[in-house]
Amino acid sequence: MPGTGIRSPVGQYAVVTAGYWAFTLTDGALRMLVVLFLHGIGFSPLQIALAFVLYELCGVVTNLAGGWIGARFGLHLSMQAGFVLQIIALAMLAVDPSVLTLSWVMISQALAGVAKDLNKNAAKSSLRVLLPEGGGRLYRWVALLTGSKNALKGAGFFLGGLLLATLGFQGAVIAMALALAVVLVMGVLLLQAELGRASSKPKFRDVFSSSRSVNILSAARLFLFGSRDVWFVVALPVWLQSVAGWSHQAVGAYLAAWIIGYGAIQALAPAITQRMGAPDGRLAMIWAAILAVIPVGLALTVHGAEDVSWLALGLVLFALVFAVNSAVHSYLILAWARADGVSLDVGIYYTANAGGRLLGTLLSGWLYQSQGLTACLVAAAVFMAATVLISWWLPRETGPAVGHVVSRKGP
């Protein structure tokens, strides 16, 4: 039964992290499997893109519901529900290829999207519960968990291709479903049932945070992730293939390496920012301002250029600065979240994260098709300008109480 296993915070953190890593590997591998397999059986690029629309859209709703589930019933239930839904999503794909219609795949990916955000909300919220004192220790552990997750998602791209080549599509999804079933059982046995459960029974309306700081940070997060996905999700891979002449394999390898490198940098963010003081609203605004300059330079580089070397270099710089921005935000949401029912504040924050990704994805396709990659990079610069402006109003204090008090206006 849940709650009869490991009791120490370090042991609980190890169980949560191991489960999050396993889930992230399958999430990245599933994305690559679906793309490669659907392309192989004749799906058009537009149909493949549509297969993931519900995946992104479900994240907006799931983070709200996931925060409430975690606070009312415990993070244990939220995390394990994510595993169950991911196993169902994988099982739905383990059918005869003739059954894999676009609508069937979209439903499967919708379940996978719900599963991903339930699992992520629970994993991130658990850190605030297990490390309640905050400060530098929390910042390091948050950066490590988030950075390793992104690196493993990139590794999952490679894993998906490997499984497809060795086991075939059906064999690959069955193998991943069985592996996650083992992780699910271990989590049920080892995680405490009361982990993250609020002392009171929050109502669903409580998913909307009463904290001014959390709401401002969430708005900044929306534009931060919109600034990345408006050029990264659709525009960049299409441009690299159609304009720069890269092969499918080269584009996939480059994007996977970019994500792995981004995750590694994110894990090192505490060391990168240590000379600038403890993370607070001022630090978030400074790094957002640094990042806002990069898309402008990239837009000037790409416009009329045939050599992609400067673009590739600029993307490495973007990855470094974006990773630090993301790590600072990931720490601040946990540092400022309410102590009792932390997943509620984390839920509204990652709802904004999902909203930014969805907005960026949709704009990426529309802007690239109508105006080209330069327009996408200009949009990224505009999004980052909005992030800087919003970050101006973040509080300059740190600590768990800051998120639920009225903070000073401006720097």
3-state helix, strand, coil in the chain (%, to 5): 80, 0, 20
pLDDT score of 1: 42
Residue with tokens 């949009």: 379
- The tens digit of pLDDT for each residue in 360-400 reads 878 887 888 888 888 999 999 999 999 999 999 999 866 55
- Round to whole Å and give the CA distance between 250 and 331: 34
**Predicted pLDDT of residue 301:** 77
3-class DSSP state of 4: coil
Q: Which stretch of DSSP H or E encloses residue 376?
A: helix 373-391
Say which residue, 196 or 346, is predicted with more confidence.
346
| Helix residue ranges, H only, 8-134 | 9-40, 45-50, 53-73, 75-93, 102-130
Token pair, residue 187, equals 């989590």
User: May I ask the CATH architecture of the domain 9-404?
Assistant: Up-down Bundle (1.20)
The ranges assigned to domains in the chain are 9-404
Give the model's confidence band at 330: pLDDT under 50 very low, under 70 low, under 90 confident, else very high. Answer: very high
Average model confidence (pLDDT) across the chain: 81
Secondary structure E strands in 185-240: none
Burial of residue 40, with CB atoms counted within 10 A of its CB: 0-12 exposed, 13-18 middle, 19 or more buried: exposed
- Provide DSSP, 65-79: HHHHHHHHH-HHHHH
SS (H, E, C) 131-189: CCCCHHHHHHHHHHHHHHHHHHHHHHHHHHHHHHHHHHHHHHHHHHHHHHHHHHHHHHH
pLDDT tens-place string over residues 47-59: 776 777 788 788 7
The count of residues in the chain is: 411
Distance (Å, rounded) from C-alpha 202 to C-alpha 135?
Answer: 27
What pTM was computed for the model? 0.80
- Confidence band of 209 (pLDDT split at 50, 70, 90): low
Residue matched to tokens 């003081």: 277
Q: Taking the alpha carbons of 108, 109, 112, 113 in that order, is the dihedral positive or negative?
A: negative
In Å, how far are 28, 65, 360, 407 from 56, measured between CA atoms?
14, 15, 11, 33
Over residues 94-127, the pLDDT tens digits come to: 988 777 888 888 899 899 989 988 888 878 777 7
- 239 has a pLDDT exceeding 60: yes
The pLDDT score that the predictor gives to residue 384 is: 97
pLDDT in tens, 127-155: 777 765 555 678 888 888 888 888 888 88
Least confident of 274-283, 288-297, 316-325: 274-283
Compute the Cα dihedral for 47, 52, 57, 58 and give only its sign.
positive
Give dist(CA 181, CA 276) in Å, integer.
44
Percent of the chain with pLDDT over 70: 83
